Chain A
Amino acid sequence: MFATQEWCGLSAMTLSAFVADPTNIFAPAGTPASSIFSLSMLVLGITSAIFLVVAGILTYVLIRYRSRGAGGRGEQEPPQIYGSNQIELSWTVIPILIVVMLFLATTRVIYTTEHAQRPTNALDVTVIGHQFWWEYHYPQLGVVTANELHVPVSDHAHPLPTYLTMSSADTDHSFWVPRLAGKMDVIPNKVNTMWIDPQAKGLYLGQCAQYCGVQHAKMLIRVYADTPEEFAAWIARQRQPAVDDPSVAEGRNVFMHNACISCHTIRGTVATGRFGPDLTHVGSRDTIASGSVPNNPANLRQFIDNPANLKPGALMPPMHLDSHDLDAVTAYLTTLK
């Protein structure tokens, strides 16, 4: 039941705990995450100071006033002190002052994040949460993709934030990429917005942070921050219709004559389903099953055979294809770069 290789990896994991963690909230790489980080340092400073003072007093009291006698009955009782209004007042007023200070610092970050001025060149992406995957639309650019979000880098010289307009197709989800921004819930019948502006090129990881059903754990998020040139090139590729490679015509045929087309879209074909991820360029993605496993033919084949192999609880049913058809479909999907 335990996968043995996991235990063997223990020592490697121990090491990995201390190197850069991909989802560490204290390693911000975008403006919202950075302003939260600065605020959290202030909060940590204040709470640590309170802790040191109060825990220090408590420790002192415990040592200083421990009972030295046998503790039996008839021992002299200590002087009884019933209270002091002056002291009560002082430890009411000081906390109130701390609260006011913290509150003002907090309010500032709330407003600068949630009421930020939206630059005119900002990129819009519509995010739709599904059980258990993410759908991304680029309304200005006419691109639809899934699970792997590409956005341009937004450095200080050329701010180019991406505004996410989010809703859910089914249950509640939450979009959380800790290094870029705090989380925002993705709720059906409600439209939420948030913005991200990755400062450096790279891959930022995250995952759904609101329990959304059986396979909540594997509803992973991958945000690729591309340079403007890479981003433009990626967009250009995504706008192309699906590749039509004659060498995989058999697999294409299997796909188009099975239930696949009721849930998936491959632009330029009869497949126009909307329930599952758009597969027009599935071959260009690094992962499948919402970031769970690398996108290679072996994983793809296993997933199509029965998604529960890799992602129990996924809503896609087992396709019951024979081995030959499975190979053919896998080959076809792999060509959809």
Chain B
Amino acid sequence: MATQIPVTEIQDQKVQSPQRHWLEVLHDWVTTVDHKKIGLMYIGYALIFLVIAGFEALLMRVQLAIPNNHFVSPQVFNGLFTMHGTTMVFFVGMPILFGFGNYLIPLMIGARDMAFPRLNAFSFWISAFGGLLLYFSYVGGSGLYGAGSAPDVGWFAYAPLTARVFSPGHSTDYWTLSLLLTGIGTIGTALNIVATIISMRCPGMKMSRLPLLPWLYLVTSGLTFVAIGPLTAAQIMLLLDRYVGSHFFDTQAGGSAVLWMHFFWIFGHPEVYILVLPAFAFANEIIPVFSRKAIFGYPAMVAASVGIGFISLGVWAHHMFTVGLGPGENTFFTLATMIISVPTGIKIFNWLATLWGGKIHFTVAMMFAIGFLFQFLIAGLTGIMLSVAPFDWQLGNSYFVVAHFHYVLVGAILFMLFSAFYYWYPKMSGRMLSERLGKWHFWLFLIGFHLTFDLMHVPGLLGMPRRIYTYEADRGWMIWNVIISSGAIVQTVATLLFVFNMVWSYFRGPIAGPDPWDAWTLEWSVSSPPPSYNFAEIPVVASRRPLWDLKHPDDPDSDYEMDQPTPHEKQEKSL
């Protein structure tokens, strides 16, 4: 079977265009429907919010370094953790992952754009305005000096704290409306990703040959459909409670606080997987390339991802073990939560098996991916501890939980994102990131991360609840908090190095060329950065690694993949 991929670099877009007026450039970006530009805007927008929300975390760590500190007032602190959580989940995690998805999916499946380019632009802009609306709360209300009327109800905004009697003014409305807006954008992008993967794959790319990154984005997008609905419904009910006098969550008038928890967590837990599946997706692409081996157990990886997707819809009440649901519910959700560790374990073992027998290249991208493996293992194991309902009665809502989910969000997802930046930055910008600076970034961030989040488990075990703006001096928590806070400073320095590396390499980095990593998926067959139409000629593929086939015509993957034909193929043959 011949593979026809135009690997010859397409030079026509490289024609030196004359210096354009900045307004023209701006107009170009604002009106673009190109999936690559929208992807980059998503990433840029998320990075800005990452810096803002990271700064909020730093302020909280200064406040908590010592007991009974007066660095910020309780009101400001409560606003900080609410904004930090909301921003990181909705305006950093989701957009940056959708940004990479937007950029990479059409390139990896041999398409020229997403299925609905205008919907794509609409989704980006409405999400972006959601973020701006949330932050407008800081300047609205009582203005900057009084820290405005930033929402201060926590990122899961438990009822009835959000009722008008407990949350007067408009801070909660900023939170509600900004999440409503981004929810629309999120659904739009998820829809787009599903439609693109289902209908825009290049000839020869059956679902069984789809690279794992788009596969996992398909699962993530499916979860998004299910998860965002309840969140949006709950936000609308909350608005009705606040302004029309309904009583869904108004406990003073017979409403139910537990109802909100169910609505929120049936969104909130799939949301965790919406965020982590793209990180798995990056690992599925990056680990094989730097081990110089095909991914081990592709069908098992797909099955495990789909399995995680389904099971994750039935575990939400493990966030509610202390709510008093009763032993029956607690038992059910303990079991459901433990079961999800099985497909998750399959993934880890398959990554190990991919490394096994390979030739591992320790590039910065690979180092971050290995950090991801170690930390995701630990995060998974603390997750098992929390799934044990009685253990959770102690650990729930303590700093142990905070440490656990930061291990997932930072130790796993952010590490894998950094890995993805080092891996795909050359494709996006045409220049390599500095490996030397990257190694500094990696080691500093690793040290800072472990200082902060390893030790953060301890005050939780010693009884420190989350979301307290200060703590008592006699509890033995201070020493841990001092070290945790110092780790935060190391992480800040590392992140600044990363930002510097991105800016510096954009102008001074070595030219990347189309395929700097000797990789195997279709995005590496086009120039870096790719032309606006991606492929001059739509490629035809015969296996999961079309560039491997091209580089090893004597030993193509397609020979092996044929050994185990999918049922669909069997059917085709018998026909």
Residues of A within 8 A of B (CB): 1-3, 6-7, 9-10, 13-14, 16-17, 19, 21-26, 33, 35-36, 39-40, 43-44, 46-47, 50-51, 54-55, 57-58, 61-62, 65-69, 71, 73, 75, 77-84, 87-88, 91-92, 95-96, 99, 102-103, 106-107, 109-111, 113-115, 131, 170-172, 174, 176, 178, 181-185, 187-190, 192-193, 205-218, 220, 312-313
Contact = CB atoms under 8 A, between A and B. Distances in A.
Contacts of B170: none
B495 interface: no
B4 interface: no
Nearest to B472: A220
Interface in B293-308: 293-294, 296-300
A266 B159 CA distance: 33
A95 B77 CA distance: 42
Contacts of A71: 361
B390 A62 contact: no
A26 B353 contact: no
Contact of B256 (A73, A95, A189): A189
Contacts of A205: 463, 475
B339 interface: yes
Contacts of B479: 10, 13-14, 16-17
A25 B258 CA distance: 27
Given A71-B361, A91-B346, A172-B161, A208 B75 contact: no
User: Which of A35, A171, A214 is the most central at the interface, judged by chain B CB atoms within 10 Å of its CB?
Assistant: A171
A209 B465 contact: yes
A176 B463 contact: yes
Contact of A183 (B71, B160, B356, B397): B397
Interface in B47-77: 66-71, 73-75
Given A21-B475, A114-B327, A217-B470, A40 B385 contact: yes
30 contacts: A2-B66, A2-B70, A3-B68, A13-B478, A17-B476, A21-B476, A40-B390, A57-B352, A61-B360, A66-B362, A78-B357, A81-B296, A81-B357, A83-B299, A102-B388, A106-B331, A110-B331, A171-B166, A183-B397, A187-B258, A187-B323, A188-B160, A188-B251, A190-B258, A207-B465, A207-B468, A209-B396, A211-B161, A214-B74, A217-B471
B394 A25 contact: yes
A225 B475 CA distance: 19
A88 B297 contact: yes
Contacts of A2: 66, 69-71
A185 B342 contact: no
A281 B417 CA distance: 59
B74 A217 contact: yes
B348 interface: yes
Contacts of B470: 217-218
Interface stretch (B106-114, B198-206, B272-280, B370-378): B370-378
A17 B477 CA distance: 7
Given A172-B257, A182-B394, A110 B474 contact: no
B158 A6 contact: no
B324 A211 contact: no
Interface residues of B, number: 107
A65 B356 contact: yes
B565 interface: no
Nearest to B396: A183
Interface in B550-575: 552, 555, 557, 560-561
B473 interface: yes
Contact of A182 (B251, B352, B393): B393
Given A23-B462, A43-B388, A172 B394 contact: no
Given A40-B391, A110-B390, A183-B322, A24 B462 contact: yes
Contacts of B66: 2-3, 6-7
Contacts of B252: 188
A199 B52 CA distance: 49
Contacts of B69: 2-3, 6
Interface string B371-414: 00110011001101100111111111110000000000000000
User: Which of B299, B362, B397 is the most central at the interface, judged by chain A CB atoms within 10 Å of its CB?
Assistant: B397
A103 B161 contact: no
B230 interface: no
Given A66-B360, A75-B359, A103 B465 contact: no
User: Which of A9, A62, A185 is the most central at the interface, judged by chain B CB atoms within 10 Å of its CB?
Assistant: A185
Contact of A65 (B158, B346, B359): B359
Contacts of A187: 251, 257-258, 323-324
Q: Which 4 A-B pairs have the closest CB atoms?
A: A182-B393, A23-B463, A217-B468, A192-B324
Nearest to B393: A182
A228 B59 CA distance: 48
Contact of B322 (A73, A79, A84, A174): A174
Given A114-B327, A187-B324, A91 B393 contact: no
Interface of B: 66-71, 73-75, 78, 152, 154, 158-161, 166, 251-252, 254-258, 291-294, 296-300, 322-324, 326-327, 330-331, 334-335, 338-339, 341-342, 345-346, 348-350, 352-353, 355-362, 370, 373-374, 377-378, 381-382, 384-385, 388-398, 461-476, 478-480, 482, 518, 552, 555, 557, 560-561
Contacts of B390: 35-36, 39-40, 106, 109-110, 113, 182
B324 to A, nearest CB: 4
Nearest to B344: A95
Given A66-B360, A73-B518, A189-B257, A36 B393 contact: yes
B291 A65 contact: yes
B463 A82 contact: no
A274 to B, nearest CB: 15
A59 B300 CA distance: 23
A309 to B, nearest CB: 12
B378 A51 contact: yes
Contacts of A58: 352, 355, 370, 373-374, 377
A225 to B, nearest CB: 17
A176 B465 contact: yes
Contacts of A115: 327
A6 B385 contact: no
Given A84-B297, A188-B160, A209 B398 contact: yes
Contact of B377 (A13, A55, A217): A55
A36 B70 contact: no
Contacts of A50: 381
A176 to B, nearest CB: 7
B166 A181 contact: no
Contacts of B158: 171-172, 210-211
Given A3-B69, A10-B482, A58-B374, A312 B74 contact: yes
B257 A54 contact: no
A47 to B, nearest CB: 4
Nearest to B479: A17
Given A58-B377, A171-B158, A207-B465, 7 more contacts: A13-B478, A67-B361, A102-B338, A110-B389, A182-B392, A188-B251, A217-B469
Contacts of B357: 65, 78-79, 81
Contacts of B257: 172, 187-190
Nearest to A210: B397
A315 to B, nearest CB: 11
A72 to B, nearest CB: 9
Contacts of B358: 65, 78
Nearest to A90: B349
Contact of B70 (A3, A22, A78): A3
Nearest to B321: A182
Nearest to A183: B322
Contact of B297 (A73, A83, A103): A83
A130 to B, nearest CB: 12
Contacts of A69: 359
